[in-house]
Structure 1
């Protein structure tokens, strides 16, 4: 979860003004506020999440206490590769998450047929990743989705139109799955070099090398 901090700063002489921070991770915001409150000059403090919902400091701390045993702080990396000659696609995904004070990483890939383009393989890879996330029973979350496909990321962010019927269908399936799991995604376009893990998994799938692992990191 990411939030902005809104607060009023008041001097000992009574002068005051309001401030709003940049968006940051909620846990970092809580640490900053704990330090700021030591001055005794911070008033009317509120946290605003990405859905413009206001949280008190007490409510936000209680939220993190409640979710500690559930998967949270989830980051998904995805990549898809398409072999035109064989009409096969390789799908790869890497999922990082926190649970019970520990960090975990899931790496998984798959080979599929019946896809017609690299863009479709990229969409299928993200859908594959969300199915894996569903197996963790992860619901009611904010997640970060990272990929190097401009088409997928920009279309799902609503910044590019989606005219192709096939790709529109994949986008609809992804949005339906997110809604069903009550998950709010934040999409981030990253350079290909920062997506090496998912890219390698997609390549290995096309080489008929199956990967499925979960480990503490």
Structure 2
């Protein structure tokens, strides 16, 4: 999660000037606040997060301890693969996040049946990824989601229409889950070569190798 500061600065003139900072990492918030307060000229200071929530200095000190317990800085990669001969599909998901001052990575794949095409496999992989975010307690948070499927991402962004009934059902499920978790999504379309980790997991699922781990990373 990133934060920004808004405050009134009492200048040496009769005027008071309002300032608003750029966003910066949450862990830097108290450092910036303490530096500003040393001037003795800062009043009505407000801390604002990426979701538009705001707090006073006193409120944020209490909140900051609670935020340490929640996942943040969440980055998701998803990919789906479809085998036309066997009519089975594989989903691959990688999630990076921070919690309590440490960094973690989830790797998961899944063999999918009753999937009609590659686009549906991609949608299913994304739905699984959002389910994993729910499991680790992500809520009311910004999140970057990366995939190499323009169809899925452009349809979810509303740029491309969705005419296929099977895909429309997945789109509705995903939008409902995003709303439930109150996520602010930054969608990123990747080149396939930049989505290798999720792609490898999807292929491993098709080969019968199951992966599911959640480990701390250095």
Q: TM-score, normalised by structure 2?
A: 0.83
Query: 1:33 deviation in Å?
Result: 3.0
Partner residue of 1:111? Answer: 111
Q: SS at 1:5's partner residue?
A: strand
The 8 Å contact of residues 51 and 141 in structure 2, kept in 1 or not, is answered as: no
The 8 Å contact of residues 162 and 168 in structure 2, kept in 1 or not, is answered as: yes
Partner residue of 1:98? Answer: 98
Partner residue of 1:76? Answer: 76
Partner residue of 2:152? Answer: 152
Q: Which structure 1 segments of 5+ residues have no match?
A: none
Counting only pairs closer than 5 Å after superposition, residues 142-181 of structure 1 correspond to structure 2 as 142-148=141-147, 149-180=149-180
The 8 Å contact of residues 143 and 186 in structure 2, kept in 1 or not, is answered as: yes
Partner residue of 1:133? Answer: 133
Partner residue of 2:186? Answer: 187
Of 186-195 and 122-131, deviating more is 186-195
Query: 1:190 deviation in Å?
Result: 4.4
Q: Structure 1: how far apart are the matches of 2:63 and 2:168?
A: 35
Alignment: residue pair count: 215
Partner residue of 1:47? Answer: 47
Distance 1:167 1:32, change over 3 A: farther
Q: Structure 1: how far apart are the matches of 2:2 and 2:108?
A: 27
Q: Structure 1: how far apart are the matches of 2:101 and 2:204?
A: 32
**What is the root-mean-square deviation in Å for CA atoms of aligned residues?**
2.5
The 8 Å contact of residues 79 and 147 in structure 1, kept in 2 or not, is answered as: no
Q: Structure 2: how far apart are the matches of 1:5 and 1:46?
A: 6
Q: Which structure 2 segments of 5+ residues have no match?
A: none
The 8 Å contact of residues 80 and 90 in structure 1, kept in 2 or not, is answered as: yes
